[in-house]
């Protein structure tokens, strides 16, 4: 069927907009990421003299980089509405954030909706698939101290040992507050069939909107970061915890991401902006870590129950367009998450000015030397 003139114009406009957005994203990366790295290289003496101040500055730069990623979606009309508990109330405490995983856009959504949660966005540690290390943002995550985990049964035991060592070495020495992980171990579309087969074999609920989570990383995080008085078991990194006077991990934030019509946003859409403006819905539920069992079997059941609840939340959302109200209440309250365009423009301007400054500096040094 031939396109009408109006349809052709619309397609042409969408393609042109996508091309311009892609060009801006490339330019943004070419100035922002090298500038982040160069600033931290220059500040290495400060890292030796005052490590706390160094990681404070690194955190601010890291937050700004995440805000730049958030701006690509924000300016395309990809916004967030939040439901459930107010996580700002625990933003200064240590917490583990459990998130369902549907597409690459989940990470971008979190980068956006955590921007207004106080200082925690610059004090976060992310657990992500090792393939992310080889993306344009990989060098930033490496410097920041995020952990890249290899999936697969053959790597599982070794990766958990490496995770424990990583947490003990970097989590509190860099004053991290929240640690974000996706316990399903992969995208919904890739793991759903395997998860359903496992559920059927083990007489577990049949899940369509989430998959059964994996225990390993969650258990290691709890054992390593929860203070002994919280769950009665020893935890790793005792020397570091005493030095920083940390109370240990205090909360588990169960986070559920829902997309209209169960159509998740991927990173390509986030960058190119060819999808119509979309509101992503994020639901939070906060659990005190003292209520989370430490024993493996009980912890497994507790974690399964969280994802069974996610299934119910998502089923309700896809049927009604809203999350259900909390128990004992008649209406669920939603909060529209907003970003300041002026602030985003200021951060982008700083990135491009920094890129220009480093370019001029290297040009000057080149002419001096040669």
Q: What is the pLDDT of residue 239?
A: 36
Beta strands in 90-244 (DSSP E): 95-99, 124-129, 147-149, 178-181
Asked if 207 contacts 307 with a C-beta cutoff of 8 angstroms, the reply is yes
Please give the chain's pLDDT, 370 residues, in tens.
566 877 777 878 889 999 999 999 999 999 999 999 999 999 999 999 999 999 999 999 999 999 999 999 999 999 999 999 999 999 999 999 999 999 999 999 999 999 989 889 999 999 988 888 888 889 999 999 999 988 777 778 899 999 999 999 999 999 999 999 999 988 998 999 999 999 999 999 999 999 999 999 999 999 999 976 544 444 444 433 344 456 899 999 999 999 999 999 999 999 999 999 999 999 999 999 999 998 999 999 999 999 999 999 999 999 999 999 988 788 888 999 999 999 999 999 999 999 999 999 999 888 888 8
Q: Running DSSP on this structure, what letter comes out for residue 123? A: G
170-173, Cβ contacts within 8 angstroms, sequence gap of 24 or more: 170/125, 170/145, 171/125, 171/145, 171/224, 171/225, 171/237, 171/240, 172/237, 172/240, 172/241, 172/243, 172/244, 172/246, 173/51, 173/240, 173/244
Paired with 256 in beta bridges are 283
Q: For position 246, what pLDDT does the model report?
A: 65
Report which DSSP code applies to 88: G
Q: What is the pLDDT of residue 40?
A: 97
Give the separation between CA 15 and CA 17, rounded to whole angstroms: 5
Set out the domains of the chain in order of their start, with CATH numbers. 78-227+247-338 (3.40.1130)
To the nearest 10°, report the CA torsion of 256, 257, 258, 263. -140
Q: Which residue is listed with tokens 């209520």?
A: 291
Per-residue model confidence (pLDDT) at position 275? 92
The pLDDT value given to residue 133: 85
pLDDT at 12: 84
Within 13 Å and on the Cβ side, how many CA atoms surround 98? 28
Query: Do 34 and 83 touch, CB atoms closer than 8 A?
Result: no
- CA neighbor of 38 nearest in space, from 368, 358, 334: 358
Q: Report phi then psi at 254, rounded to 5.
A: -85, 115
C-alpha to C-alpha distance for 227 and 247, rounded to whole angstroms:
6
Q: Which two tokens stand for residue 126?
A: 């992310």
Question: DSSP readout, 13-60?
Answer: HHHHHHHHHHHHHHHHHHHHHHHHHHHHHHTHHHHHH-HHHHHHHHHH
pLDDT at 360: 94
- At residue 244, the pLDDT reads 44
């Amino acid at each position: 069927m031939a396109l009408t003139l109006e349809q052709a114009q619309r397609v042409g406009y969408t393609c042109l907009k996508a091309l311009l957005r892609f060009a801006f994203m490339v330019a943004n990366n070419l100035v922002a990421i090298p500038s982040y790295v160069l600033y931290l290289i220059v500040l290495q003496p400060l890292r030796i003299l005052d490590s706390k101040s160094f990681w404070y500055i690194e955190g601010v730069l890291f937050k700004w980089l995440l805000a730049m990623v958030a701006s690509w979606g924000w300016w395309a009309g990809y916004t967030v509405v939040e439901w459930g508990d107010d996580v700002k109330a625990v933003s200064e405490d240590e917490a583990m954030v459990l998130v369902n995983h549907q597409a690459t856009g989940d990470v971008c959504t979190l980068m956006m909706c955590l921007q207004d949660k106080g200082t925690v966005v610059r004090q976060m540690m992310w657990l992500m698939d090792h393939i992310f290390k080889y993306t344009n943002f990989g060098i930033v995550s490496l410097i920041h101290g995020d952990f890249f985990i290899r999936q697969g049964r053959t790597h599982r035991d070794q990766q958990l040992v490496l995770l424990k060592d990583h947490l003990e070495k970097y989590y509190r020495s860099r004053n991290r507050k929240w640690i974000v992980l996706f316990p399903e171990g992969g995208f919904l579309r890739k793991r759903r069939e395997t998860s359903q087969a496992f559920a059927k074999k083990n007489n577990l609920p049949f899940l369509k909107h989430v998959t059964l989570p994996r225990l390993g990383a969650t258990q290691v995080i709890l054992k390593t970061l929860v203070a002994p008085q919280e769950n009665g078991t020893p935890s790793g990194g005792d020397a570091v915890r005493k030095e920083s006077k940390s109370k240990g991990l205090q909360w588990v934030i169960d986070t559920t991401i829902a997309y209209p019509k169960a159509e998740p946003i991927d990173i390509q859409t986030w960058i190119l902006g060819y999808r119509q403006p979309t509101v992503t819905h994020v639901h939070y539920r906060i659990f005190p870590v003292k209520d989370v069992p430490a024993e493996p079997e009980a912890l497994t059941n507790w974690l399964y129950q969280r994802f069974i609840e996610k299934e119910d939340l998502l089923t309700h959302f896809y049927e009604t367009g809203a999350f259900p109200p909390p128990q004992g209440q008649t209406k669920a309250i939603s909060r529209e998450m907003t970003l300041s365009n002026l602030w985003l423009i200021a951060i982008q301007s700083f990135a491009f000015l920094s890129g220009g400054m480093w370019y001029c500096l290297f040009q000057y040094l080149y002419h001096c030397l040669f």
